Every structure is written in structure tokens, then in C-alpha cells.
Amino acid sequence: MMKMMIFGRSSFKPRLLLVVAAALVAGIVGLLGLQNSFPTGCIMTYMYPTYVPLPAPANTSVSKYGLFLYHEGWKKIDYELKLVQLSGVPVLFIPGNGGSYKQVRSLAAESDRAFNGGPLEESFYQSGVLTNEEGSFEENGIKRVNDIDGKDMNALRKQYYNHLDWFAVDLDGEHSAMDGRILEEHTEYVVQAIHRILDRYKESLEARSKNMANFATLLPKSVILVGHSMGGFVARAAVVHPGLRRHAVQTVVTLSSPHLSPPVATQPSLGYYFSRINWAWRKGYSSRKHPGLRSSLSTLSLSHVVVVSIFGGARDYQVRSKMASLDGLVPSTHGLSIAAPGMLNVWLGMEHQSILWCNQLVVQVSHTLLQMIDQKTGQPFSSPSRRLATFVRSLRSPLPQMLGWMSRSQIPEISQLARKPAVVTILAMDGRRRWLDIQKLGSDGRDHFVLVTNLVPCLGIRVHLWPERGSKEGFSVNQRVLEVTKKMVQLPAGPAPRQIEPGRQTEQAPPSGVLFLSSEDLQGFRFITLMVAPRPILSGRPPPAASMAVGQFYKPSEGRHTLPPFWIASTILGHKDVQLVENHPLLVNLTLSLSTGVLPVKMEMKTASCGIRNSVFANEDPGDLEHTSLCKLRCFPPVALVWDPLTGIAVIPNFFSETIVVDSSPALWSARRGSRETTVAILVDPLCAYNIRMSASLPSAATRFLLVHGLEIAGFAVAILLFTLMQQARAWELDYPVPSVLASMEYNLRLPFPFIYLSMIPLIIYTTLEIANSESTSSFASFVLVSIACYGFATGAVAILATLSQIILYIAASVHFFVKRRCMGWIQRVNAQIPSRVSNQLNVCSSLWVLGSIRSRPLFAVMVLSILLVFFVHPALGLIVVVLVHTCNCYLALYSHQQQNNFMLSSDEALDKQVPLEKVDNGQIASPKPIISFKDAQLEIFNYSHGLLLVHLIAAAMLIPSLVAWGQRLGMDRSLPWFLDASLSFGIILHGFVGSKLDVNTPLVPFPGSPNNDAGLSFVYALAALYSYLAGLALAPYRVFHALAIIGALTTVFRILDRRGRMKGDYSLRRRHFHRH
């Protein structure tokens, strides 16, 4: 039973005030964090662009979209001749939301330079290889596909086999991320553009054949699709389009593209279109036919298609890494998801637009596409395994596999220090071979070896494994000697060291490569030899300013430190320290049990000592300037390797102060949506002692909270308002005064009930369904805690919105009442001066049938107008009309309440004044009693109308992005709104007009006790709130439209039943409503 004390009160109680304050602080801090700019380290790409338009076929109608061919060069060219000379590999670029076809210029220009300049300089570092899962789709796939270092690669090092012809579609800068119809139209045009490109190659070949040109050119059979942002999803949608030619697309590369869900998942048709395309992709890799499917979504064989998704990481605020992941859509045998911070030769996180022009990434992608061309055909490899292996080899770092964070694949085998300490340091390029005794130095369980160096493998340093020590200093001819130099993995090097004074030693150089040898690698061998080349034999390269190589035998368990969740959470109150004493493992592995996707952590590394315990600096403060400078001469800069299963690896050179944050969250429940923990591996000088200071970064946590859980909060906001309407409807059913929005929200926050069953029951239902449908689950504790935090933030945000709207309405009503009182005499004088002829003309006009009908039934006329707008213009406009109607209702109720309050205060019977029921406007309050307080009746009207105003305001706001996109096309597009959006909005309109009165209430669910306790409309609101809550948890807030539309349909049914009952004289369906005075 609801308590009387919650009714009629709208002031903040302590619980609600605390929630509002927390939401306000988190929102302000989070939004300020979004404004922070971070230096990306990207190099700008320059070009000389020319865009050649491709004429449309003669038998096609004129389209507002266009297709262009890119040409790099500053000289003017003949467009027709350029089109006739097409002979390369076609690549189609698809811009994203509001993007331009001219954004192709960076990729196209670097591809042209890469082809003319030849392949990148040969690297002797270990390249990425397919894992066992990725190579499982072909028998012996890993062994065959990973072995690309043979004749093909030797020939490829001289010249690429063909160039790339870059095309781009002009989509008129439309906002495809905001409207599902625009997205579908873009897909249709891209399919046409693919066919046009392939036909153009045939026409060009025929034109060259007439001029006795080259006859041996092979026609391309497929087009490579490269899409940015929403263009990547358009590319995937085109692949499963029923009108696309068979095998016309075999390779898709996406840059910061959402795949799992739209970034702004607020339009029902947009969310449905995403679901439809993703469903087709999930079924597309199976050759079995599925009966009963729609023809447009017939199961296609996608076994020939390889998809690569490249995303910016935590610095991309528009497309989260989870959205850009291919998990669950494309199997690992055909898809690769990789973050820019973990890409070879890139190692940088970047913003949403930067990924298009960042030179490090653009160059790497361009060379990768050129490496994918087959020497025999001059076109991309026909085998999907070869194409996937090319992307893996050129883009993905093998560090996660080397460190055991990924499933270690069968890495193909690649065909001097005798000291007692387990650590060896080389600072001179003297050409000597140093011998390491594995049995002596690898004792006490130290059966792993790690080496970091800034020397280039093979050219600057070589590493061999020996079964026994050779008798000669020269290269042994023993076939059992194994060179493992090429197992070295590249690291991004930090800035070059500086020389403090001429003639003095420079600072220690940062490492640029790391070599890991496990106990399995060392088994069967007795010695490791390290041979550093002398400076004169570096193949003409300038020697490094300072050379370094540090190796160590270590025991993995000694360097592992697990930091529990409560320890990390305590860093919110103050920093915590982790000490590394001298002679610690070179590889320090910190496991943060609380993911930095939830709580980012700022880590600072300071040198405590550097092997100078007996010097005068031993007892000085670690922050001392001279001490720090001296340690920079002795200790190499640390390198951090941050690992998360979703976003991959991020390498941070010169790791002295950095905020660790990964773009995933364990609170998003799904199979592989995030990790419970974050792993930070630090390569640090073992001869130096360090102090690692850790503190939680609350501003970064607030920013990530808004970014990751924004869609969840939107769904929760609607659920909270529906819970509020549920309490108001229940009060009506129990014949209590209807509470205000804030009073209902305050009541819903009460502990233990109703807060527990309102917030926890939906969580239990959702987790039960997810556990039944998925194989792996996230951390239940993290999921519940963060979901409740989202629920609290949404409650605070809704409370702020309710308070602001209430204040605005109250001020407007008060000003209206004040002005009306002051101007009443003037209005009467003006009315008296109006000529009678004008008055008669107005009466004649009002007697017209149409105007008379509108005047007699204004709400019906407004409802018809909103329905017409929904079905024939745009659904958002119809919902805006509904919001305006609710605003008028609230305004008039407050004005009437203010007017009556002033009248009652001016009389002697201020608190006991009552009016007959006939004076209650529009019969808003149904009561069997003949007398009711007019002031209280108006207050109840305002309370319920205010709740409807807020819930429909949020629904209208969710369609505003689609309205903006529609406004851009105004005058060019005459198509009707999608039926799904219009029909759901129609249901909301019914709720707004037909269900605007609480007397539309029919008992549905009986409760024990008095028959008057039966639940009616409150039960409907409760089910709708539950569904909206689940929609928020699923990150699909557009589904709340289904709940609101069903409420509208049911209230219409209730109204019809009520009217039929009254016509028959049956008033049993109407609720009793008593007011005690």
C-alpha cells in the first residue's frame, strides 16, 4: 500500500537529492572530459587530388548521388583517357555520417606513393600470424598460410604486382547514422556503384582493344570496399544485398565503423535495419538453406568474404570499440578486429576523423592492400585464408601471442655472455659474441628468457640457440644451431635520447624490440649467444645515438602482481604504491582485477635507485633532479603493454606517467563484451628500483561512464518515468490523490522496497535470459553495480528535467496570472470598443462546419493533425505536437491552480473552500462524490500530465536526429516515413490523447482483499517499464517505442470499453476516487 505522505509533495527528499547531486556532478565532469583534446601523435597526410566523375549509364535515371575516380598528381589530365586506362585493382571508398567522397584522398594518395615507391623496407621482426582458431577453416591452413616468407614475399620486396584504382561514392553528405531510410538508400546506391565500376573496366578494356593496346589485361571480378564510420556498415549491408552480383565483393575494410549496433540507437527503423543486416551476416557463412526467410534476406554464402575492422580505441568518442568489433558477426576464420594502438607501425589511439588522415595508419593500410595482390592474376588473392593472413601479418602485433594473452599459434621456425648473474647488459656495438649458459643462469625455475634492445634484428643484433659451445668464434656449421633473431617483436620506440653535454654519455635509449623465449623454446639447448654488430656494418644506416640490449632469465611467477578490486577502488580516496626493488624481473605483470574500462587508473613510475646503493645518491629523495638525471644514464625507459581481450594490445613507450584506460566494460553483459580485469605488463630495467604510484582517475571514469552507458541510461530514463506513471495510476486505483513526478520518484527510491524489486527484478530476468542464450558471461557483480549506477544516474537526470520543466511552467503560469490581473480592466475596455459588425463577422466565420467542428472538438483536431504529420511528414513532428498538448495541459492546470489558490487565500475560508464537481475542467477527476476541491483537482491534472509530458518528450527527442537528417533532404526526397516508425509513433499519439486522463482505467489483475485493489493501468505501466528497462540493458533504447505504442493501444481499448459501459449504464469499470477534506 502506498503511503499518504508521498502524495502532493514535489520537494526533494534526502534520497532523491543525493541521487540528483551525484548525477549532476558525474554529468558535468563527464561532459567536461569529452572536451579534452589529446595529442594523437599522428602525422598529416598530403596529396594532389583530382576527382574524375564517372558518367551514369544512359539507361538509368538521374541520381542525387555520384561516383568518382581518384587521380593523384598536380598535372591536368584528360578524364576520358583516364577512364579508358583503368587496369588496376578497384577499391571503392564509402564515406560515413555527413562525410564527403573527398575523404578518400589520404588513402588513395598513399596507395599511389606505395606502388610507385615499392614495398616497405624489409623488416626482420616477427610478424603477426594466424592463431589456431583463425586457421582452422582449411586443412593445414596455419602452416601453409603463415608461410608467406617464401618466393612470393621475396619477389614482393622488389615491386608490387598491380596498383589500386580508388573510387569514391558521393552520398551528398547525408547523415546516415541518424535515419534508417537514408542508410538503406545508401546501400542501394553502393550496390549500383559496384556494378558500374566492374562494367567500366569491361568498357575500358574494349576501348583499349580497339586501339591495339594491351590485350592481356584481366578483368577484375570483385571490388574491395573500404568504409569509414557508417560507410563500413553500408559496405556490409551491400554484401548481403539480394541485388549484388555473386562474388562482386570479397574484401571489406572498415575504419571506425559500428557493426553490432548503431551509435545513436534511438530510431526503431534504424535499429531494426541493423538487426536485419547482422542477422543476415550471422547466417551468411552457412551454406544451408533456411526455409521461411524473406527473399531479401535469403541466406547467402559469405565464405569468400573477409572483413577487417580497424577502430581508434579509447580516444574515439563516437564509435566505441565494442560497436566496431566483429565478434558474433564474422567468424575468426574470416574476420579481424584490431585497434589502432595495437597495429604495427602505428601504435596510436586516434579520434573518429583522425583515422582517415593519420599517416602512420594510412600508409600501413595502403601497403597491406597492395600486398594482397596475386602475382599471377594482378588481382587480390582468391583464397580468403591468404587475404586474412596478409592482414594479420601486416597489421597485428604478435606480442599478445608471445605473452600468452592469445592462443599461441604454430609459429614457424626460422630458417655471445658467460656471466653468473641472470641479467646481461650490452651498451657497446663492439661486434663480439656473448655466451649465456642456460643451465647455470636458468636455474631455480628461471626457465624463461627476455631480451629488449634498440638494435635492429639481423642487422644490429643476432640471437642463436646452441646445443653446445662452438670451438670457433666464427659462425658454426652445426645444423643444430637455431637462429631465433626473427622471433623478436617490434616495439614503438620513444623519442631519441639526448646527449647532455658533448663528450658525455647520452641517456639510455628506449627499446625498439623485445624477444621472448619460453621454456619450450629453450628445451634441448645449452647456450644462448648474443652477437652485436660493429657500427661500420649497418648497411649504410646511421648508427643509433646510444645502443642498448638488456637480457634476463626470469621466473614468470616472480613478476606477477595481482591487485584486488578493493585495493584498486581504494585509490579513489588516495594513491597506492607498488615497489619494485633492484634485481626484479625485467617483465613485470600487473593484473588489475577491476577493469580500467570501469575505473581508469593513473600510473606514475619513479626511479627509486639505479644500482648506486653505495653512492652519495643512495639515500636521496627519488624526485631529486640530479638523482633522476643520473638514473636516466643507467636505466632504459620503461615500456608498458596494456592488454584487454576486446580492444587488444596497446603499447606505451617512455612509460613514466599515463592514465590506463581500455575501451571495454565488464558491465555490458554479453559473450566477450569486456574483461573483468586489465593486464599491464611493464618492461623495466631489472637493475633499477622503481616506485609505481597508482590513483583512480575520476574525471576519466565519469567520461567513460557517459560514453559506454549512454544508450543504457536513455532506456532507463523511459523506464523510470513509466514506473512513475505506474505509481500515479496506482494511486488513482486506490482512491488516493495522484502524487507528483518527484514524489513518485522519491517513493521508488525507498529501501528496501520498492527500490529492490524495481531495479533488481529486471536485472535478474535479463541475466537469466542472457545466461540461457550465451556460452560465456560477464562478471555478475560488476554488471549489477554499474547497472544500478546507470539507474541512479538516469533517476537523477529525469529528476533534474522534471524540476526544470516544473519551474518553467510555474513561472509561466504565475506571470500569466499576474499580467491577466493587471490587464483585466484594459482588456474589458478594448472588448467594449470592438464594433458590433466585426463581432457579427466573427460569429459567421465560426458558424462554418469545419471551424465549428474544430472549435467544438479541438483535441480531436490536434490529434488528427499529429497523425497526419506522423504518417506523411515525419514521426518526430507528430510527437512534438503531442508534447505541446501536454505542455498546454500542464500550463492550464497550473494556471487554474494558481488562480484558485489566490482566490482561496483572499477569502476567509482559505483551506476549506470547495467547488462543485461541475466546475472541474474537462471532468479530469472522476469521483462519485458531488463535491471536490478544485485546487487539488488541478494539481492532480498537472501531476499526471507532467509525467506524460516527460515520457513523450524523451520519445520525441529520440527521433530528433532522424528529423535533422530528414531536414537536410527537405525538397529533394518525397518518400513517406518508414511504416515501423510511423505506426509506433501513432501508438504513442493514442497514449498522449486518449490516455491523457487517468479515468481510463480497467481492472486487469486482481489483488487479494478488497476488489477495489485490482490493478489496471498501473499494471500496464509496470510491464512497459520492465520492457524499457530490459531495452536499456540491451543497449537498444529504440525498443521503448514498442512499449509506449502498446500502452497507447491498450488505453484506447480501455476508453472504448468505458464508453460502451457508460452507454449501457454500467459504471463498475470506473475507479472510485475520494478526496478527504
Question: How many C-beta atoms lie closer than 10 Å to residue 127's C-beta?
Answer: 22
* Residue 1012 is assigned to a structural domain of this protein: yes
pLDDT at 471 over 60: no
398, 598, 691, 587 alpha-carbon torsion, rounded to 10°: -20
pLDDT at 475 over 70: no
**Are residues 565 and 530 part of one domain?**
no
Q: Is the pTM of this model over 0.85?
A: yes
* Residue 780 is assigned to a structural domain of this protein: yes
Residue located via cell numbers 549500383: 192
Q: What is the pLDDT of residue 55?
A: 87
Question: How many C-beta atoms lie closer than 10 Å to residue 80's C-beta?
Answer: 11
Task: Tell me the pLDDT tens digit for each residue of 729-779.
Answer: 998 888 888 999 999 999 999 988 899 989 888 888 888 887 776 655 556
**Are residues 18 and 111 part of one domain?**
no
Smallest Cα–Cα separation from 578: which of 693, 669, 424?
A: 693
**CB of 903 within 8 A of CB of 919?**
no
Residues with Cβ within 8 Å of residue 979, at least 6 apart in sequence: none
What is the residue type of 549? Answer: A
Grid cell in block for residue 651: 603499447
* Residue 837 is assigned to a structural domain of this protein: no
**Are residues 993 and 957 part of one domain?**
yes
285, 289, 294, 298 alpha-carbon torsion, rounded to 10°: 40
CATH number for position 78:
3.40.50.1820
**Are residues 632 and 520 part of one domain?**
no
Question: Among the listed ranges 539-543, 965-969, 1024-1028, which one has the minimum average pLDDT value?
Answer: 539-543
Q: Average pLDDT, stretch 65-75? A: 93
Q: What is the pLDDT of residue 470?
A: 63
d(CA 128, CA 823): 81
Q: Average pLDDT, stretch 523-543? A: 72
**Are residues 344 and 195 part of one domain?**
yes
* Residue 109 is assigned to a structural domain of this protein: yes
d(CA 30, CA 708): 11
The larger pLDDT score, comparing residue 737 to residue 167, is at: 167
Q: What is the pLDDT of residue 102?
A: 95
From residue 82, alpha-carbon distances to 47, 107, 663 in Å are: 18, 19, 44
535: left (phi over 0), alpha (psi -120 to 50) or beta: alpha
- The DSSP 8-state label assigned to residue 217 in this structure reads P
What is the Cα Rg of the chain in Å? 35
Residues with Cβ within 8 Å of residue 726, at least 6 apart in sequence: 1018, 1021, 1022, 1025
Task: Tell me the pLDDT tens digit for each residue of 306-346.
Answer: 999 999 988 898 999 989 999 889 998 899 999 999 999 99
**Are residues 250 and 218 part of one domain?**
yes
pLDDT at 855 over 70: no
The larger pLDDT score, comparing residue 961 to residue 827, is at: 961
**CB of 678 within 8 A of CB of 644?**
yes
Q: What is the pLDDT of residue 624?
A: 52
d(CA 463, CA 488): 9
Question: Among the listed ranges 500-514, 533-547, 676-690, which one has the minimum average pLDDT value?
Answer: 533-547
Q: What is the pLDDT of residue 123?
A: 77
Alpha helices in 159-216 (DSSP H): 180-210
**Are residues 460 and 397 part of one domain?**
no
**CB of 47 within 8 A of CB of 72?**
yes
d(CA 474, CA 459): 17
Question: Among the listed ranges 696-700, 810-814, 817-821, which one has the minimum average pLDDT value?
Answer: 817-821
* Residue 44 is assigned to a structural domain of this protein: no
d(CA 606, CA 628): 9
* Residue 112 is assigned to a structural domain of this protein: yes
d(CA 684, CA 605): 10
pLDDT at 621 over 80: no
Q: What is the pLDDT of residue 780?
A: 77
CA 722 to chain centre: 27
d(CA 148, CA 387): 11
pLDDT at 166 over 90: yes
CATH number for position 642:
2.60.120
From residue 111, alpha-carbon distances to 165, 307, 363, 368, 1056 in Å are: 9, 20, 7, 10, 68
Domain region containing 340: 49-401
The H or E element that residue 49 is part of is: strand 49-53
Count: domains in the chain? 4
Query: Where does a domain end: 696, 718, 749?
Result: 696
Main-chain phi, psi angles of 538, to 5 degrees: -95, 30
**CB of 332 within 8 A of CB of 389?**
no
**Are residues 561 and 548 part of one domain?**
no
**CB of 180 within 8 A of CB of 265?**
no
**Are residues 97 and 71 part of one domain?**
yes
* Residue 363 is assigned to a structural domain of this protein: yes
d(CA 610, CA 631): 6
Question: Among the listed ranges 42-46, 137-141, 381-385, which one has the minimum average pLDDT value?
Answer: 137-141
Q: What is the pLDDT of residue 452?
A: 93
**Are residues 646 and 751 part of one domain?**
no
d(CA 374, CA 157): 14
Q: What is the pLDDT of residue 559?
A: 86
**Are residues 149 and 116 part of one domain?**
yes
**Are residues 688 and 783 part of one domain?**
no
| Cis check: omega of the bond before 754, within 30 degrees of 0 | yes
Residues with Cβ within 8 Å of residue 519, at least 6 apart in sequence: 447, 448
Residues with Cβ within 8 Å of residue 951, at least 6 apart in sequence: 718, 721, 722, 725, 1044
With cut-offs at 50, 70 and 90, classify the pLDDT of residue 56. confident
Question: How many C-beta atoms lie closer than 10 Å to residue 928's C-beta?
Answer: 12
* Residue 1071 is assigned to a structural domain of this protein: no
